[in-house]
Structure formats: structure tokens, C-alpha cells
Structure 1
Amino acid sequence: MQTFNVEGMSCGHCVKAITQALQAKDPAAHVRIDLGAKTVEVQSSLPANAVVEAIQEEGYQVSAV
């Protein structure tokens, strides 16, 4: 499980956009997003840099926890 701090998430659209972006790169990825804590947990075979890149492509600032 990889956990990231993601700034700029505020609604269901954000959750959907990030989830879809990650699952486009790894259809088997399990994504859990906590809007209040501004965290994204990802269980995936993707390396951390690929996860960060996918989230950044959606317009969010990302840092590893």
C-alpha cells in the first residue's frame, strides 16, 4: 500500500478523476481517498513515481507520506 498527500481534492469529482486516472494505468489498482485527510492510498503494481505522475496529470499537487 502506498500513501500520498494530495492537495486540491474537495469533492466526489476529484475522487472519481484520481481513481480513473490510476485505474487507467493499472486496472487492478485499489484506490482509497480520504478528502478530509487529503490522502490517497493506492494498492497497485505501479511504482510510486507512476502514481504521482497520474495524479499530477489530473492537476493535483502530490507528495509521499
Structure 2
Amino acid sequence: MSQTITVEGMSCEHCEQTVEDALEDVSGVESVNVDRDAERATVEGNAETTALVEAVDEAGYEASA
């Protein structure tokens, strides 16, 4: 299953990597593709959407589903 969440506040490659790392740590995530220009992250797997948003928020960025 693929989910896309909006991620605001990313301004560089390091930001993108931080969000990717945070999402990869969520249970059920199989792969992650983060696009800072589009302000979104696409996640493959069966992770809970709320867990994804929470992980991004805890990493210091604003996420919404």
C-alpha cells in the first residue's frame, strides 16, 4: 500500500534525509521517497498514517495526511 503525506519545512538535502530516516523507523514501512520540492513523502508498506505524521513531526517538520 502506498501513502503520500505532506511535509513542510524541508529546505535542503539534509532535511530530506532526516525525514526519510524518521519514516523508515516507523513499523510497517517498506520504502520511502521524499521530495522536498513537492513537499511530500511517499511511503510504501502498511504503516499507520498517524504514526508517519508523528514521526515527521518529532523529526522537527510539519506533516499532514
Aligned residues: percent identity?
A: 39
Q: Which residue does 1:6 correspond to in 2? A: 7
Q: Report the residue type matching 1:60 in the other structure.
A: Y
Equivalences for residues 9-48 of structure 1 within 5 A: 9-26=10-27, 29-48=30-49
Q: Report the residue type matching 2:57 in the other structure.
A: Q
- How many matched pairs? 64
Q: Which residue does 1:61 correspond to in 2? A: 62
What SS class does the counterpart of residue 22 from structure 1 fall into? Answer: helix
- Structure 2: tracts of 5 or more residues without a match: none
Q: Which runs of 4+ in 1 moved over 4 A?
A: none
Task: Establish whether residue 52 from structure 1 lines up as the match of residue 53 from structure 2.
Answer: yes
- Structure 1: tracts of 5 or more residues without a match: none
**Could you tell me the TM-score, scaled by structure 1's length?**
0.84
In the TM superposition, residue 2 of structure 1 has moved relative to its aligned partner by: 0.6
In the TM superposition, residue 27 of structure 1 has moved relative to its aligned partner by: 7.8
Q: Is the 8 A contact 2:23 2:29 kept in 1?
A: no
Q: Go from structure 1 to structure 2 and tell me whether the alpha carbon gap of 1:28 and 1:37 turns closer, same or farther (over 3 Å shift).
A: closer
**Could you tell me the TM-score, scaled by structure 2's length?**
0.84
In the TM superposition, residue 15 of structure 1 has moved relative to its aligned partner by: 1.3
RMSD between superposed Cα atoms in Å? 1.5
